[in-house]
Structure 1
């Protein structure tokens, strides 16, 4: 098992983590400072949900979910910074 497989799985899960994070943020009014940890927890949960559907061991799916959560929170911060910069123009 190499890291390429983990990153490919994580890349697929990022869109799902972003969508679920955004829905939870709007529904439960989660503060922006808690969004990175929320994204990581959602990523790990989605990795566990997808685990029975794959042939990979559970630790691979947990790691892919963790990476997807980190990537989603980084994307969230990047979009927030771009929006803030756009408002300054």
Structure 2
């Protein structure tokens, strides 16, 4: 799936961070928020891609999971730096 998935991860991560800062979301809800955003972004990008809808839906789901994993890694690294 070429670079589409990598771009989707970056978009999901960016949108999730903006939502977290704007609405002061609790960090325990960020993985679910990232997955929902990923699915939404996958469906929005579906008409622009050559892949079927279910593939873009799964790509959005995977991008949301990857973005939430990235968020958790950044959070752990930030806590490690404080010690």
TM-score by length of 1: 0.89
Matches within 5 A, 1:2-81: 5=1, 8-81=3-76
Query: Alignment RMSD, CA only?
Result: 1.1
Structure 1: how far apart are the matches of 2:31 and 2:3? 21
Larger Rg: 1
> Runs of 5+ in structure 2 lacking a partner?
none
**SS of match in other structure, 1:86:** helix
> Runs of 5+ in structure 1 lacking a partner?
none
TM-score by length of 2: 0.95
